[in-house]
Structure 1
Amino acid sequence: MLFEKQQYQEDCVNNIVNILDECDVFNNDYSNLKNIIKEHYKTQRYSQFETSSKKQIDVLMETGTGKTFTYIKTIFEINKQFGKTKFIIVLPRTAIKQGVIQNIKLTDEYFYNEYGKHLKFIGYTGKDSLSAVQQSFIRNESDLTVLVSTNSAFNKDANTINQAKEDLVEHSSVWEAIADKKPIVFIDEPHLLKGGATVEALEKLDSLFIRFGATYPTEEEHKLVNVAYALDSINSFENYLVKRIAVKNILTGAEESDIKITKINAKGKQSDKSVTFSYSKNQQIYSTTIKIGDDVGSKTGLDIYHGVTLTKINAKEIFFSNGDTKKVSESYELNDDEIEQMLRVTVSSHFEKEERLFNQCIKELSLFFIPSIADFRGDNPRVRKFFEKIYREIRDEYYHNTTNQEYNKYLDKDFKDGKLQVLEGYFSGDKGDSAKDDDLKKAVDIILNKKEQLLSLDEPLRFVFSVWALQEGWDNPNIFNICKLATTDKETSRRQQVGRGLRLAVNQAGKRQSFKTLAENENAFYDINTLDMVVSGYEKDFIEGIQSEIQKASFGIVGDFLENSLLEANGLNLREISKLINTLEDNQIIEFDESIEKYKIISSIYDFIENNADKLSFLSNDRLQEIKQLFKSRKSLIEDKNKTIEKLKIRQEQAKKFKELWETINRKAEIVYKDINELDIINKIADAFDTENFSQIDTKVITKVYDPIKDKVVTKEEQSLGKIDFFAKNKLSEFVFEFSKKEKLPLGFVTKLFSKLDLQKIKNNPSKAINFIKTQIKESIHTSILQCVDYDFSQTNIFSKNILQNDDGSFIKEIEYTKLGRNIGDEASDEFLFDRVVYDSDIEKQAILNDPISIDGQQITVFAKLPSISIPTPYKSYNPDFAYLVDRGENQKQLFLVVETKSYKNNSDIPQAEKTKIDYAKKFFEGLQKQLPDVEIRFKTRVNKQELSNILQEYQK
């Protein structure tokens, strides 16, 4: 493979060496590092980054830009400049470790020609490697040596490297002997190496740490600091250092009930919070932004959300009025039809490019992430079977249609003794020798250790399958397609997923197909260097998510100059420019450099505009947003993970009064159904289904491309894949059984229901039809059974998990306010259970602050904003807002009043889903009253600004 000098890699190495030049590297003295970094920031215009007193240097480099090559070169350069001979590279996973060792081997000749020496490496594997460590690393002072190890090999006391050894005279363990050498430690993928045991073991080395990563942790103790060099995502894309990303969404209609969270704005007041959804309807992808109180069904047009409002927004989760919640990252499982369609799209995408790339001496590879190992190597490997069938079909079509004889000869290598040679998998546990047969062992070795062979057109293997074992650290420049058939774990970002294929392609001579190599022709560059990511309709927000992650992980390099011409070109007049510059200068975002008579940017203009719109009121909101976009990507990567949540004190005297009320209403109960007319419900659902139209749908592929220069997502192509017969692979009996199980409905009821329905309608549009049936079942059951519902209350008093009380029944002293409401205010009245006001909406705040305590001789003794008491309903659990203990005078029972507060103008404005749960709450408290006749319990809905006095008057005796 050919290696060429890349200026950005040279700049990175030079920056590190220049910083170390001010330190005493040989004697391991980095006491002045923090001050050196401060000066470095001034010359590099890195003032947005933080400094630290740690013996640590950080490098930010986007995936696919050659981090491993860069730090290997850094090792050679430090050895040349400072005479240091011992280094360690720490990796989080074996696959990454193997990739690093492979890179050391591949670059050996290149670096020998440049530096005149070889880099000895020890791939540490445990006991078998100890003698090599002792001989080459500890006892040999002169040889340039690097120990390559995963953290799991040294972060436990039981590790061999930490055990006492008799032949070590001066040290108790090999790790201690290594520490005595004061090696410089390179940490690759720092976001995966922040565990306490790993950090503790590394600190024993008392060495300089140089961290390389595209992603850094956000925790205070691990965050990005002491930055020697920064090449972020946007700069990498803008400078043509990585492939362009195109995403193919496969829409089968099954995802049409699903909405995906693209972006959450959870800052500020509730009225300012919003969430952006992507969703599909009629096989088109849409996006909309919704605020608290908005009707989701009206905004999206999705029937399943009709009458459902958005009630609460947290940083990672949102809440709906029907009791449903949705998290930022949610799992899904594809059925066989969806898997087949995605495999077909990916193989087609591969063949659409392969002959063209072949003619340019470039071998195309495709990568598949699958649900399980069994899907490829099990007794019934469905993914492998589907792939082989689809591959043969599409290959035969291209084989017979091409006139390119050389390409046909290439395809002739696909089979050996009738067995397909083009695919193999690498999975966790595949360590070469553990492979079951020689062919498998050879294929795993090619995937993991022999990058050049995998890139060769003489090697037929070009489709690689894995279950996320090939993550950070493994990539290949000629991955042109990635097919995602499985949900990723929540810690794996979209950037990390596409990162396996971002590196620029190479030809058979090992020549990178760079922007410069292709004569700086953008069309020619993207014609080769485009990565197609194939995802299901359940990830309809995938490319927008990549765009968002790129923006968040990118740093605007402050220190450029703000030119009037830039603002004029974007429509600002002289008055607006003058006001904007004055505002930025007053807030120390820019400063005037008299030597060149220009304004220097010293802090993020983007962040200032985003957080201080009120200071720029002379610009319209639209104009302000346009100006902000000029400075896009000036974002901070660091989030405050250490922010503490304020707590409310529970007034203990009031708690004593509240105790009986709380323990009365916080009862565990189960729903009991009596005398339900099943046939009537089935007929109502069938009648509604008959009147609904379900037109037949096609499966579609929508291809979107991310344009990093314009920071836009552009729809490139739409393609129809034809119709799917839903019941061809879904037997009706099996489907009915699974539907019954998933919806928790009696099998007999579901069987009778589907016998009444027109199955052709379900075939036409399975997703829409099934969601319609679910909705009708809920509505029909509610209408029919509300009068048949009762509650069975537990004989034990209260829930075992009691948020307000200790095990002995006493009240806790304080509680995090977020367990009660979204907002916290000033001191509350003496009758309030908590010392400060806590509320979800303005109407709740006003109720706490302004409601009178004495009303027509009735005295509110204590009241509280309720934590969750979770009243069970068929529509999930329900939680009312307030509870009041009302003293009504002598000879009258105390009143336990539970109130639900709604900000709607009238009762008729309350969505049906909310009304339904309120109906069940009424039944709950009616049942509770029957159980406890010695106290009086009432439940009431309070709409808009209805006076509490009007409610209490209803219960006067």
Structure 2
Amino acid sequence: MVEVFSGQPYADGVKYRIDPGKAVAPTLLDDAGLRNAEIALTLSQLLTNVHAVQRVRGLEPVKDLKDPVKKSAAPINLDIEMETGTGKTYVYIKTIMELHKRYGWSKYIVVVPSIAIREGVKKSFDITADHFQQLYGTKPRTFIYNSSRLHEVERFSSDSGVQVMIINIQAFNATGKDARRIHGTERRLPNGEIVLEGLDDFGSRKPIDVISANRPILIIDEPQKIEGDAKKPSKSLEALAAFNALFALRYSATHRIERTKVHRLDAMDAYNQKLVKRIAVRGITVKYLTGSSAYLYVDGLEIGKGADFPKARVELEVQTAHGIRRQVARVNKGTNLHVVSGGIEAYKGLFIRNVDANRDIIELSNGDVIGAGEVTEDVAEGQKRRIQIREVIRAHLDKERQLFAQGIKALSLFFIDEVAKYRDYEREDTLGEYARVFEEEYGEVLADFLGQLDFDDAAERYRKHVEAIPVRSTHEGYFSIDKKTGRSVDGKIAARGDLAGQSDDVDAYDLILKDKERLLSFEEPVRFIWSHSALREGWDNPNVFVMGMLKKSDNTTTRRQEIGRGLRLSVDQHGERMDNPVTVHDINELTVVTDESYTDFVTALQKEIIESLSARPRKASVDYFTGKQIKLADGTTSVLEKSIAQALYNHLIRHDYIDDDGLVTQEYKDARADGTLAAPTAEALKPVIDFMWPLVDALYLDLPKPVDGRKPKKIPFNEANFKKREFQALWSRINHKAVYQVEFDSKELIKNCIRTLDKSLNVTVMQYLVEAGKQVVGLEVEQLEAGTGFKVSETKLEHSAVSAGSTVKYDLLGEIAEKTQLTRRTCAAILTGINPGTFAKFKQNPEQFITEAARLINEQKATVIVEHLTYDPRDSRYDSSIFTENQTAQDLSKAGEKLKKSVYEYVVTDSKVERAFVEKLDVSDEVVVYSKLPRGFSIPTPVGDYNPDWAIAFRDDTTKIKHVYFVAETKGSMSSLQLKGVENAKIECARKFFNSLDNTDVKYDVVTNYSELMQLVSD
């Protein structure tokens, strides 16, 4: 965002005299305010900056900065598209701080569409204040606009430092008291005197005039809820113009009015970059079978140890002493349903012919096939809701058991459309229909779930925790409160106007917005939350892992909006975000329980996502790649020149990775998935090719498909294989924990950096385009209005010896030290050692000089780190419990057949290479036992923790060596180009780690297939 204003001079506020008003004493006449400095750049300079930003991010360059709406919030409107749950509030707070740091702008107004979002935004400012204090040496001073506390507006104008006013649109866009007071509406008194409405404490001034004099910068949060559309803009949009803003930044996942977009982080980007939870769906499908009229609902399938597995959880009608009731039973192959039902005639002759956990189906003796989540016959809505509530409880317990040991509190959220379904004040216990069903189902599901737990220490700690929570304390409803009766009521919803469909009831939000931290504590018993569907906006708790949609379909609310409440990445008991790139989606999975079928829900969700991605480029071209920014292994960035873009395009054509229309082919997708992409021959491509593939990935809509929430299952642990002598011997050799240290000579690093900078530092000279034009002959009014009254007659490209941003003061040493994590002394030694001609490039383009110099220094630093890295194994070791305690549920459809020699009975693989490797291992006569190493086993490295793939123990007589133990990493290609960057650095560090263990019979290496592994073992 800040690059749009590159070249703007720094100005720490412009002083002006605040109009004191008639009622203020003369002594205050000298009161001064500090307003934002005007934008010094011309529209042409701004447009050049915008184009540079847009090219880097793959956005279509705009023709001009004109707004499609005549009455806009500000003269310049910039769009930032960020998917729900990716932290846009944090981003715009940091943008505020960065704009202040670079350009001195200090007055900001955050405009939000509802009280819910307002409270959430204020909370975000409060909890990040210390964080930004550490980053910037100052923090924003924030307040919520309140027409009864106008002294805060005075302070906003007069105080220095970053000042932020948070205001909801209702405060100045209605006929209520707040709106009258901010605009200072005139009112005639009985004696004929005209006064301003209720502003006795603010003199004769209007608050809007005091605010507008500051030339504030507007941050518009969720503008699509405020502005209407381009053809019919809302009154709210017109009202924003009264702020006299310098410019407006508009943050949203779904912009309704497209303006000048400078950043895009859409649904696909958010998922691929692992910034949001993965989505799982548990749907309910009504299935009409031909062979039986009996009621049957397949709740899910289970795998486990023993001959009677896999099993299926099936709900059917059972004859009891109190009549026919629906109950859940566990069945396996050969179960007689007539017997299980207590002799009900409809089930006579029905047996379970097969239970297939891989395909998640059961087959009946009459030939019918029923999948998990399918229910026979038509069922009443009440029964569907009961099934949904049960599914939410079961999904919650599955997730909670996994997360409890990691210190993460799991929450589940039910959305309902009527408070009476949860709170019934006609009953003594005030429990509504859904609350009663919940308590009935919770008791049964919990007892069944705890009965299936293992008897290890972790399971016992979890068992004690949940058994100590009474059912009545574990669920709570958060609704609007009627102040007269104190009872929960349906939320207040605006029926007409710009804010139709939104709630403005502040009472409904206090607990769920202001007490987020309490809800995330294990000390708080509430785990299941019930809320009105109207409260969807603003309800953002990161630890919602399951959502139950117990409401009728709402055509005004998309599925993306509904699930958006639970997409944020979770936090642990210390508030640390669970965003480790290796395990982020093992932990962060949102399960949505819906009354639609899985297929229907996912199809509709995918359609909505595709529609939101319509602006994404789809075709490869040289122009598409030119100017794109790529992130390198050392964390620095590089912008692609046209020559490299051309080389990449030629490479894609040569290997049939794109077709004649520039569309990505299936050949590319398969090679990308298997790690077998062709290595380039062009020298210019070799250093950067690994970092350019994401640019190609972005050209096809390979949408993340939500997983079927019933399919993932915990894979059984084969204890017999784990306890084999050979595996225990291997495990005892490699399960050391270790620390590393890096010792290197600073002189050596400085010398290498000087040599590299003098040789490789390239900085482009700033260019600007000079255009000359003449007025069109026979000019008409329409041409003037459309901006086409002049025609360009000549263009000329000029080179600038001085950067357009040279008016900005740079802390050159500080910037490079920050980007390289080296001391200022070391950076000074490097910069003073380079040739004067190399250093002179700083004047040509300071920003690029800093970025490129830091990148080259980091490359040399990484080389030195790996060369001088040593490991020190510690006496402490990894416990064998990591094989079971942190295991996550897996989708067995990718697991293949049950395995004989593995420590786990199934292994889920991500590629054809891994699948072929597993199949060979399991049938190899030379292999005794092997295991996919659990995620809990990791090797620390300077570039992040590393988790090897496989641990393999061979037979004693495989070679002349008595024992051979192998730790392997499987890769689809052994090309050095495929293993560059961070991944290669981790592998080199792993080699040093295993060498440090001093085990001559343990080998670590990277292989592409089983044959290569056996060659290494034989060698």
TM-score (norm 1): 0.47
